[in-house]
Amino acid sequence: MRSLQYYLSTAFCGSIFMLLTLQLTAQSANKNALKAFEQAKASIKAGQLDEAEKTLIKTIELDHHWAEPQIMLGAIYFEKKDWIKSKQCFESVLQEDSLADPIIHFKLAEIAWKQENYSLVVSRINLFLKEDRIKPDIKAKAEKYLRDAEFLKSSVPEYATTIERLPA
């Protein structure tokens, strides 16, 4: 649980909860969606990821254009190592709004890394690094992913397995 809270506060540079706090009423006119989303946030804080997942799915059904619940659901799936569902959530946000929070490209790069799709890692990280509001520690991690992915995508396959994987 600590890692999800850490992920939400650091990997998103605090942007999810800041956005939710500052712009919550502007994000959805659906009062039921707002209420469900607040319940999901409370579930996450209580360490109840399964309950938060169910509530976020309900929130998205009530307002499928609202990005924050999909981002948070993608984060939960990422925490659960369900790369396919996590990727679907993040890509859904980008389909709705191509200018969505650039950290989504970073998370999609991490998913591509887990799936050993190094060409996609390079593409996603390059999109992410175009942004100028990146925290230094996240930028350093992204640059390491980029260097390693560029090496792995161009290296001989038997040498690729000798590279130590980045920590989760």
Residue 127 confidence (pLDDT): 92
Tokens of 47: 């360490």
Task: Give yes or no: residues 108 and 155 share one domain.
Answer: yes
Claim to verify: residue 1 and residue 76 sit in the same structural domain: yes
For the domain that residue 75 is a member of, what is the CATH number? 1.25.40.10
**Boundary (domain end) residue, out of 96, 122, 156:** 96
- Asked if residues 109 and 125 have their Cβ atoms less than 8 Å apart, the reply is yes
In which residue are the tokens 């992410």 written?
128
Q: Are residues 79 and 130 in the same domain?
A: no
At residue 69, the pLDDT reads 95
* 49-62 helix and 31-45 helix, angle to the nearest 10 degrees: 170
Same domain flag for 146 and 88: no
pLDDT in tens, the chain (168 residues): 444 444 444 444 344 443 333 333 346 668 999 999 999 999 999 999 999 999 999 999 999 889 999 999 999 999 999 999 999 999 999 998 777 788 899 999 999 999 999 999 999 999 999 988 889 999 999 999 999 999 998 874 555 455 555 555
- Single out the residue of 9, 46, 19, 15 nearest to residue 133, CA to CA: 15
Helix 83-96 × helix 67-79 angle, to 10° = 160
Cβ contacts of 108 within 8 Å, gap of 6 or more: 87, 90, 91, 120, 124
Q: Please check whether residues 32 and 51 belong to one and the same domain.
A: yes
* Cα Rg of the chain, angstroms: 16
Asked if residue 77 and residue 106 are part of one domain, the reply reads: no
- The pTM (predicted TM-score) of the whole model is 0.74
The domain in which residue 115 lies consists of 102-168
Same domain, 17 and 2: yes
Task: Please tell me the predicted confidence (pLDDT) of residue 19.
Answer: 38
Taking CA atoms, 70 is separated from 26, 116, 150, in Å, by 16, 24, 30
Domain boundary among 79, 96, 113: 96
Give the chain's domain count: 2
Tell me, yes or no, whether 91 and 161 share the same domain.
no
Q: Give φ, ψ of 140 to 5 degrees.
A: -65, -40
Q: How far apart are CA 71 and CA 144, in angstroms?
A: 24
